[in-house]
Chain A
Amino acid sequence: MHIVVCVKQVPDTTEVKIDPETNTLDRSSAPAIINPYDAHAVDEAVRLKEQHGGKVTIISMGPPGAVEVIKKCIELGADEGYLLSDRKFAGSDTLATSYILAKGIETICQDNPFQLIFCGKQAIDGDTAQVGPGIARRLLIPQLTYVNEVTAVDSAKEVITVHRKLDDGYEVVEAKMPCLITVEKEINQLRYSSLPNMLRAARYQPHMLNADELNADVTNMGLKGSPTSVAKIFAPEQRGEGEIIAGSNDETINQLIQKLSDQMAK
């Protein structure tokens, strides 16, 4: 079984700062890390490989420095990694990103067709959750989003069964492979990488692919291929402190009703 995992390098948003004057992310303020959901996607792919045999290939679009997150994936047990990096990709929105990744997947799977593509649920910086579905649509394969458990893979029948997370429970869904899956963090607990995998990752050099090598239409890439226009970016205002109404029951209920009706009157 050939499993491709899409992995994005993101700024660690727990440490990122917003420039108060320009309202933009100060990316230099935060270290670059692997998108946390994507790490779970890699781990799940490696678990399936351990059960069913095959190969796990990582693909990422990003600046040259993103080789580090691919190496991290090798630590987690992936076999190969490809970095799509080119100035022509710069400024891509989700539409263009999914185009580039789909073309990349076609290129690297020419001789070894994939059965599964894994993505994270969403990226912690862009947060759109659009790239996975975008890739599935472009490759014309089924998609299973928000998956928190893979329950069965039947390689003979080429069918996968998963749990999709819902607000109040989960649904059990089957899909024909090849298909694309986006994962929740609960899907697994990241394992501590083995020392042989750490050594392999320390030596590993990912394959690099540029725009010309993708056999793709450059007008669908980068700023040209990105219809998204950003109207305004702002940091949300800090929410004010809550208020606790203390006292006996009747009293507090009356106070609460009074406050609510004041608010409605405003």
Chain B
Amino acid sequence: MPKKFDAIVVGAGMAGLAAAYKMSSEGLSVVVIERGDYPGAKNVMGGVLYRSMMEELIPEFWKEAPLQRPVVEQRFWMLDKQSVVTSGYKDESWAEEPYNCFTVFRGEFDRWFAKKCEEKGALIINETLVESCIVDDGKVIGVQTNRPEGDLYANVVVLADGVNSLLGKQLGFHREWEPQQVALAVMEELKLPEEVIEDRFNLEPGMGTTIELFGQGTMGMVGTAFIYTNKQHISIGVGALLSQIREKQVQPYQLLENLKQHPAVRPLVRGAEPVEYYAHLIPEGGYNSIPKLVSDGVVVVGDAAQLVNGIHREGSNMAMTSGRLAAEAVIHACNMGHFDRDALSSYENELNNSFVIKDLEKYKDASHLLESNPRYFNNYIPTANMALREMLTVDGVSKKQKQKKLTKSILGKNGLFTLGKDIYQMWKAVR
């Protein structure tokens, strides 16, 4: 048994498994340490898994991976108290190979992914907590676990320990996250017969849809809610910035109950039996919160590196891509026989050149803008609802009259200048 591995991966989530798969495929000796009973036991996601990033690791994985439904439609709902403005996009080509994305259960999917890593030679050690990194002369050389004789050594440690990343904090890569840098999300899995799901969501057999809900879904807080279809379950969840949840003093389960009671949501979940309940944090700090990613003998990937695009609910794809790019840097370092910061720096460069950092940079001010300017969630969404209500309610008032009333109401609240400024700032934040 080698006393020292090429790489130790902490955390068997999407990021850690992607890194482990890539490294062991190239013949590196890899051990993955996971605190849960099995990979995925602790992992929470709505969840939409993106095909293309997974395929960069395992081509045509959909032929054998445990997936729920290919997503053929994505809907966007803007909720007011008892109304909703809907839009969306449905595409028949998403129902065929190679597909766009899938709904998955992480408990199933991660376990399968871990098996694939084992087939490539990686060792997966479950039920084991990494307590700290072993640091020698400023260089990470291994990890200390909570097991007897629990020290383990490697040339590189890959920190894939998720949103809290206590290990990254111990190494001084980041500070305790501020409540406005993370969202608290709660979700439920609701059981319903397959045909009922397909009827309610207007789907062909086996196909899936996603709904992202803004506005009342989060009781006006910055965040989103979602409803995803699985084979025999609906995943419904809602997340909002921890700072705002605290400020408003709402209980997370109230958010979810409130969502399920909304008249647009109620008929979708009627009669469904709740079978699981989860709560988890999501990194929301975006670009400005990214910690140190590389140091001597260590790289940070996935949620641990805060790589989540909150606006587009993309996290698992960034986790996979960052894991893969980190693995490539480790493979490169192994070939050179150096494992210091410079030797591993290609990870940071490649990540900067990838969609991951580019997307996060593009949206770097968006979350902050939404948080600091309550008008987006509290005024404009209700206004959009009001506008359609006015125009579509036939009550004998002339359309011209209605338009006048609308303009007055939109401008009356904040004035033209504020409206212009808000539009401009939002455009600047996401352009």
Q: Is B378 an interface residue (CB 8 A)?
A: no
B343: min CB distance to chain A, Å: 26
Q: Is B152 an interface residue (CB 8 A)?
A: yes
A199 near B147 with CB under 8 A, answer no
**Of B42-50, B123-131, B405-413, the one touching chain A:** B123-131
C-alpha gap A199/B320 in the complex (Å):
25
A202 near B150 with CB under 8 A, answer no
A202 near B124 with CB under 8 A, answer yes
Which of chain A's residues has its CB closest to B148's CB? A194
Could you say which residues of chain A place their CB within 8 Å of the CB of B149?
A: 194-196
C-alpha gap A225/B31 in the complex (Å):
45
Could you say which residues of chain B place their CB within 8 Å of the CB of A151?
A: none
B125 near A198 with CB under 8 A, answer yes
Could you say which residues of chain A place their CB within 8 Å of the CB of B394?
A: none
B148 near A202 with CB under 8 A, answer no
Q: Is A193 an interface residue (CB 8 A)?
A: yes
Could you say which residues of chain B place their CB within 8 Å of the CB of A192?
A: 147-148
Which of chain A's residues has its CB closest to B38's CB? A31
C-alpha gap A195/B5 in the complex (Å):
14
A162-209 residues with Cβ-Cβ distance < 8 A to B are 192-196, 198-200, 202-203
Contact among A193, A194, A199, A200 for B31, CB-based, below 8 A: A199
Contact among A195, A196, A200, A203 for B128, CB-based, below 8 A: A195
A202 near B147 with CB under 8 A, answer no
A193 near B1 with CB under 8 A, answer no
C-alpha gap A196/B148 in the complex (Å):
9
A83: min CB distance to chain B, Å: 18
Which of chain A's residues has its CB closest to B118's CB? A202
Q: Is B132 an interface residue (CB 8 A)?
A: no
A195 near B123 with CB under 8 A, answer no
Q: Is B379 an interface residue (CB 8 A)?
A: no
B101-155 residues with Cβ-Cβ distance < 8 A to A are 118, 123-125, 128, 145, 147-152
Given contacts A202-B123, A202-B125, contact A195 B1 (CB under 8 A): no
A203 near B123 with CB under 8 A, answer yes
Could you say which residues of chain A place their CB within 8 Å of the CB of B123?
A: 199, 202-203
Could you say which residues of chain B place their CB within 8 Å of the CB of A202?
A: 31, 118, 123-125
Could you say which residues of chain A place their CB within 8 Å of the CB of B151?
A: 195
B124 near A195 with CB under 8 A, answer no
C-alpha gap A199/B32 in the complex (Å):
10
Could you say which residues of chain A place their CB within 8 Å of the CB of B118?
A: 202
Output the residue of A195, A196, A202, A203 with the most chain B CB within 10 A.
Answer: A195
C-alpha gap A199/B31 in the complex (Å):
9
Could you say which residues of chain B place their CB within 8 Å of the CB of A193?
A: 147-148
C-alpha gap A69/B71 in the complex (Å):
37
Which of chain A's residues has its CB closest to B147's CB? A195
Which of chain A's residues has its CB closest to B146's CB? A192
A190: min CB distance to chain B, Å: 12
C-alpha gap A203/B149 in the complex (Å):
18
C-alpha gap A196/B152 in the complex (Å):
9
Which of chain A's residues has its CB closest to B150's CB? A195
Could you say which residues of chain B place their CB within 8 Å of the CB of A194?
A: 147-150
A196 near B124 with CB under 8 A, answer no
C-alpha gap A202/B125 in the complex (Å):
7
A199 near B150 with CB under 8 A, answer no
A199 near B1 with CB under 8 A, answer yes
C-alpha gap A203/B145 in the complex (Å):
19
B1 near A198 with CB under 8 A, answer no
A109-142 residues with Cβ-Cβ distance < 8 A to B are none
Could you say which residues of chain A place their CB within 8 Å of the CB of B124?
A: 202
C-alpha gap A160/B147 in the complex (Å):
32
C-alpha gap A198/B128 in the complex (Å):
9
Could you say which residues of chain A place their CB within 8 Å of the CB of B152?
A: 195
Which of chain A's residues has its CB closest to B31's CB? A199
A32: min CB distance to chain B, Å: 12
C-alpha gap A194/B1 in the complex (Å):
15
B139-180 residues with Cβ-Cβ distance < 8 A to A are 145, 147-152
C-alpha gap A199/B2 in the complex (Å):
10
Which of chain A's residues has its CB closest to B145's CB? A195
Which of chain B's residues has its CB closest to A198's CB? B125
B148 near A199 with CB under 8 A, answer no
Could you say which residues of chain B place their CB within 8 Å of the CB of A195?
A: 125, 128, 145, 147-152
B48: min CB distance to chain A, Å: 26
C-alpha gap A106/B150 in the complex (Å):
37
C-alpha gap A203/B151 in the complex (Å):
18
B309-364 residues with Cβ-Cβ distance < 8 A to A are none
A107: min CB distance to chain B, Å: 28
Could you say which residues of chain B place their CB within 8 Å of the CB of A203?
A: 1, 123
A65-98 residues with Cβ-Cβ distance < 8 A to B are none
Which of chain A's residues has its CB closest to B123's CB? A202
Output the residue of A192, A194, A198 with the most chain B CB within 10 A.
Answer: A198
Which of chain B's residues has its CB closest to A202's CB? B123
B1-47 residues with Cβ-Cβ distance < 8 A to A are 1, 31
B3: min CB distance to chain A, Å: 10
Could you say which residues of chain A place their CB within 8 Å of the CB of B145?
A: 195
Could you say which residues of chain A place their CB within 8 Å of the CB of B148?
A: 192-195
Could you say which residues of chain A place their CB within 8 Å of the CB of B128?
A: 195, 198
B405: min CB distance to chain A, Å: 59
B231: min CB distance to chain A, Å: 15
C-alpha gap A192/B1 in the complex (Å):
21
A30-74 residues with Cβ-Cβ distance < 8 A to B are none
C-alpha gap A203/B31 in the complex (Å):
11
B125 near A196 with CB under 8 A, answer no
Which of chain A's residues has its CB closest to B122's CB? A202
C-alpha gap A161/B150 in the complex (Å):
35
C-alpha gap A193/B150 in the complex (Å):
10
C-alpha gap A202/B147 in the complex (Å):
15
C-alpha gap A202/B148 in the complex (Å):
17
C-alpha gap A193/B147 in the complex (Å):
7
Q: Which 9 pairs between the two chains have the least Cβ-Cβ distance?
A: A202-B123, A194-B148, A195-B147, A195-B150, A194-B149, A198-B125, A195-B149, A196-B149, A194-B147
> Can you list 10 A-B contacts with CB-CB less than 8 angstroms, sorted by A residue number?
A193-B147, A195-B125, A195-B128, A195-B147, A195-B152, A199-B31, A199-B123, A200-B1, A202-B123, A203-B123
Given A192-B148, A193-B148, output 5 extra A-B contacts at Cβ < 8 Å.
A194-B148, A195-B147, A195-B152, A196-B149, A198-B128
